Structures are given as C-alpha cells and as structure tokens.
Structure 1
Amino acid sequence: MQSILFQTTDWAAVPVTEHRGEQGTARWRTRQFDGLRIRLVEYSAGYKADHWCKAGHIVYCIEGEMISELADGRTFTLSSGMTYQVSDNVSMHRSYSEKGVKLLIIDGDFLNTKKETERILNPWRI
C-alpha cells in the first residue's frame, strides 16, 4: 500500500454508480487508493443484496438502518452512529434495508487476514 497524501473528499462531486440488488438499488460514490477503497453508499428502501459477501469491511451507518444477515443465520441491526467490522473470509454476510440507509464503507488489503499472517510469518517476502 502506498502512502496517501493529505486530501479532502467532496462526496457530492464523486460520480455515482448504481448496483442492483436482489431487491432495490445501491448507489456508490467510490474513492479508490492502492489497497484501499472508501465508499459512500446509499441503499434504497427495500434493498436486499443479491449475493453473500465474504469481503472484509468497516461499515459506519450515517443515517437510517439496515440488517446484516450472516450465513450462519444470525442477524445484526446497524443504525445511525453504529459500526460493524469484519475481516476478509471470516463471516459471509449480506445486507437488507427496509427504509433505506446511508453508509460509509472502508475496505482493503488491511482486512485480508491471510496477507497479514504471511507478512508476520515471512516479513522478508513482502
């Protein structure tokens, strides 16, 4: 991962991409850096992800509410001011939002536990 020089982001100026879910739509505004992705994401009312995700994320709920369902059947409600954190390949999950939600989502190489384990065990290879 390369250093990121100090900078600000005017999220209103970042282009929107739309991603259809099983139900509803997710609107992403994405900043991509080397090994790091930061997204401002809005799920429409009734949004349900169309896949089980195994990627790691740090998710901060800005406004609204959503439910994260894990593959083992557990569910967790995330509402305004809350976060969840998960590493890559640890807990398959998918999201649902009845009334819509606005999230800040951060993910990247630092959440890949396999890479971190390799770095610790074999620092001369990285």
Structure 2
Amino acid sequence: MSTTTPPALVGIDFDSIPWEKWHKPGADGRVKIAYTGGRRIRLMELPAGFNEEHWCERGHQGYVLQGEFTIHFDNRSVPCRPGMGFIIPDDERHRSQGAEGEPTIVYVIDEVPAP
C-alpha cells in the first residue's frame, strides 16, 4: 500500500492569510504564516526601533521589503535594507534591531514543520 504526500504549496496568497500578533521580547509586531514542505514562510511587520532582547539560534533566509534593521551576531553586525536578502545558518546566534523611522517588513523562511 502506498501513501500519497500532499503537494507542497507553490503560490502563497498572503492577502488571504490574516495577520496574527507576534511577540518576542523587544519586538512585538504582526505576522502572516504559511507552512509547506517542512518550512515556515512568514511575512513579518515589526515596529520602527524594535530591539529583540533574546538571541535566536535557528537559521533563517529572508528578503527585506521595507525598513532597515541590523542583524547582530556574537562577533559582528550586518545592516539590512530594502532589496537585500539574508541567509543565517543554523546555530549562529543572532538577534535583530530595527532602525527608527519606519516599520520593517520582511519575508522570512526557516525549517519548521507545521504545528
């Protein structure tokens, strides 16, 4: 007997996904989330000047749509602006800090199975 795995999403209609509150100390915002193929895909909006208080060790890939922020690592900081992509490897401790002036909107993908 064979089982069939449902096909992975190809198109994600973020307009049809409701915004949810997103909370991380220092970075309250909102998020739209989709899961496909063992990945979590997020459209995130964080307020101007956000400053994550806790370090993250999960890898992420993303693209900056609006706003500027800095990804802080243990030994360096990387500024990100609209039009830039980023890749953070698993187990590389990091946290983000937004610039003042406008919210940050970012598209983020990480390997997290659906709940």
> Is the shorter-chain TM-score for this pair beyond 0.5, marking a shared fold?
yes
Aligned residue number for residue 70 of structure 1 = 73
TM-score relative to the length of structure 2: 0.79
Tell me: CA distance 1:79–1:86, structure 2 relative to 1, closer, same or farther (3 Å).
Answer: same
Aligned residue number for residue 48 of structure 2 = 45
Whole-Å separation in 1 of the counterparts to 2:77 and 2:34: 29
Could you tell me the percent identity over the aligned residues?
Answer: 26
CA drift at 1:31: 0.2
CA drift at 1:23: 2.8
Tell me: CA distance 1:86–1:3, structure 2 relative to 1, closer, same or farther (3 Å).
Answer: farther
Tell me if the contact between 2:49 and 2:97 (Cα under 8 Å) persists in the aligned partners: yes
Alignment length (residue pairs): 106
Tell me: CA distance 1:21–1:36, structure 2 relative to 1, closer, same or farther (3 Å).
Answer: closer
Aligned residue number for residue 117 of structure 1 = none
Quick one: which amino acid aligns to residue 60 of structure 1? Y
CA RMSD of aligned residues (A): 2.0
Aligned residue number for residue 31 of structure 2 = 28
Gaps of 5+ in 1: 110-126
Tell me: CA distance 1:4–1:63, structure 2 relative to 1, closer, same or farther (3 Å).
Answer: farther
Tell me: CA distance 1:38–1:69, structure 2 relative to 1, closer, same or farther (3 Å).
Answer: same
Kindly indicate whether residue 111 of structure 2 is the aligned counterpart of residue 98 of structure 1: no
Gaps of 5+ in 2: none
CA drift at 1:27: 1.1
TM-score relative to the length of structure 1: 0.73
Structure with more of its chain in helix, by fraction: 1
Which has the bigger relative contact order, CA under 8 A and spacing at least 6?
A: 2
